[in-house]
Amino acid sequence: MAQIDDLPPLREVIAEHGLDARKSLGQNFLLDLNLTSRIARSAGDLSDCTVIEVGPGPGGLTRALLAAGAKKVIAIEKDTRCLPALAQISEHYNGKLEVIEGDALKYNPAELADGPIKIIANLPYNVGTQLLLGWLTTEEWPPFWSSLTLMFQKEVGQRIVAQTGDKAYGRLGVLANWRCHTDILFDLNPKAFTPPPKVTSAVVQLHPREKPLDCPLKALERVTAHAFGQRRKMLRASLKGLKPDAETRIEAAGLRPTARAEEIDVAGFVALAHAFDKD
């Protein structure tokens, strides 16, 4: 197993601080420093940016980010048991690590740092999608972050990158691919984690499109929520709860009222958002 710094192995850190992973916090600790280093490298050059990390736990990915030359890492950790272990990392790396104790859902990363920001994290399973949606639906675009390199359950990763016709295609894929270029970089075996989750994980990377299609964001969120909330229904049925003249608006968007959500590409949903945003 890789030795990336002079700090103790992660298993020793976990034992010393009694850091058993807790299901209630969505924790699955990644202990293989070969893999954490691979994640850090996949995010590109970190020397000129601040990295925001959510849910660092005992600090395996945190150490890899700092060893890879990150200018600064700001880690948001809800579990107070992890703070002493993270304090040791901060001391070892001469204060390049800043730890914020709290719930990441309550923080706006844009307010935590100036200059280029990359978000790199093994996200807690129970809040990962919610956090991603928050970063995707920021009003300002291009956003405050230059890239997202995030670990999810593989099923969620497939939903993020899904395109029209893919089995996993849905609301998350529309929102992600409207504003970003998305890729699954690699999978991670459950055995790499403590405790091993029941599913394979995947590292997903998103880069913001400089000029995504012009679209009213709130209308897109409403249209996709209704369309995929009843995905087996035709659009004229799934969208009728939005406007009484739904069928006319669907036709105005250049789409068939008898089409289903899974058949509509991102550009089609953008057209629907414009059509349903009008009075």
User: Which pLDDT tens digit goes with each residue over 66-78?
Assistant: 999 999 999 999 9
Asked whether 44 and 147 are in contact (CB, 8 A), the reply is: yes
pTM (2 d.p.): 0.94
Alpha helices for the chain (secondary structure H): 10-17, 33-42, 60-67, 83-92, 128-136, 154-161, 171-179, 217-229, 235-238, 246-252, 266-277
What is the structure's pLDDT at 28?
78
Which residues are 182's β-sheet partners?
206
Condensed to tens digits (0 to 9), the pLDDT of residues 237-277 reads 999 999 999 999 999 999 999 999 999 999 999 999 999 99
Q: Is the peptide bond before 8 cis (omega within 30 degrees of 0)?
A: no
Of the listed ranges 91-100, 120-129, 221-230, the least confidently predicted one is: 120-129
Among 33-37, 49-53, 262-266, which stretch is predicted with the lowest mean pLDDT? 33-37
Measured CA to CA, the distance from residue 44 to residue 217 in angstroms comes to 30
For residue 33, what pLDDT is reported? Answer: 87
Lowest mean pLDDT among 26-30, 62-66, 113-117: 26-30
Cα 63 to chain centroid, rounded:
20
Residue 249: C-alpha distances to residues 223, 241, 246 (Å): 12, 13, 5
